[in-house]
Structure 1
């Protein structure tokens, strides 16, 4: 019988042989085409200065929160921040979580019960799947953005039914037909939940608010580690939902609350976002410049997307790693997305565009991609 250490070594060796081994890499000096810092907030000196100023206005606050929010870690500052964020996103209430992963696990492990139904897009975030598994509810997957597939699953639903989408998908960068999905959920008496992690930024308050649908969506999850450039997340919904999560979401109840520094960073990031029209307009121009300059082919297509996430399908781990390595040799930080992170046959490079990417950097990126795509 193998020892625990031998088991670990064997499983890691299997990953290496399959070409799917993951390892941590330190920061580099390459041009950023891989981070989720779409508006440059994470590197913003303006945001750093605003956070520092906010901290000086609250010098009496502790370095750490000292406990969970149900014991010693709750602040009036936190509750005021939650209410201001909820108002920004046109929601009744919001509850802060320490990360997007915590928010999704907390929401989906506690809200649906045994006998209820969760129906989610096949490309949904892993954290939502993990939370749904913990709920013991019936769980169905529908084909990506496929209304017929969704309706077939709705016909099988039992109990309270929750349909889950991302408003901008993290691995493809596309958006679902949200209005059509809402029409279906209303017809079948289901409730729509939207993860807006990658929508906020290009759409300041998220795509749901942008479309004027905030009052029709049961819950939204907004994370702060992408375009907002800091850390944490909030679940948006009704007052009843907020109180329910305080009482039943284990990832909220049994964790130390965020530090004051984290809360101040979130508050200042939202103030910066409210004044970020120029950055958002620049990001839109960068996206357009990239799409106009990219000349790929049917064998290596660019997935249709109007967001800051642009992906080229390579259909194998080997090809994806080859193109990623070529781009990195050119000084461009583009990463390969390999199976099993994506389904086998859906391997790709994932390009994240930012308001701070220059046109010269985009030209270097597209020229290298085009040369690779048309190589004999």
Structure 2
């Protein structure tokens, strides 16, 4: 998309009562495709031109000829995908390609996450990628974008999912960590390395004790810090000089590490899992964790409805998650709603927990 027709500042409202003459986004085997623009949004097969909403591996995959993404995501994209042909846009900046005006707007999901706004012949579509509406100091806040058609995720698209305020959540995490120190044991917080780990680090109280991160988390921390996000001091376990620190530290690591020999150096540690799936009773036990904390980078049920309403869209297309439930709810409330089949989803551990929850439901 390097040969854009023009750049300008983005208007944020769709035209009123514009007739639809062909969809701006359709499903193809490679991913979600924009026919007039001849590009894909978060494709899961190699294509010539890809607009990327964020750097999670189910949305940003290697092998595309050209990538377009929001400027704040550059560091994490290059950290995860290496040397790629990447073009970036500032939030709200417009790019015109084959008659389609493209702009990227904050999604509030992780650093650099963006909603993709497409405008063509008076029609406006927005593809959300993943998003959350709750405040998060590690990324730009979600920005409602007016549109005719809204493509929304539904990872937590069930009414049972309702997040508590961050101050309550992190007070619980800090108290758990402090209690473990009193018992002379480490506190291991398992969470996704990109996004959730940094949000957890930004929310805990570093005065409680030392913080150790896994090797999968450290380079992403560096990308966040390079983007101006404030995170507390963290160390790799190989950098720990005083072995007593291993019995009072907070360890932030991916779930796979929490079940690996890497954990042996921390002795009799307490292991918690930070995930939105912890909202459902039984998921912590199935995962074998001592504790579960409900921490998600996605919108909960009220957040999804809030975001959809704010767009003003009369047509909503639902992607991954509990799409059938959300589609039915939206139809019952007077919207034209349908679902796209995609290959998006959370990391393997969270996907396994979702499968177990759906079986229980």
User: Normalising by structure 1, what TM-score?
Assistant: 0.29
User: Normalising by structure 2, what TM-score?
Assistant: 0.30
Q: Using CA pairs below 8 Å that are at least 6 residues apart, which structure has the higher relative contact order?
A: 1
| Larger fraction in helix | 1
| Larger fraction in strand | 2
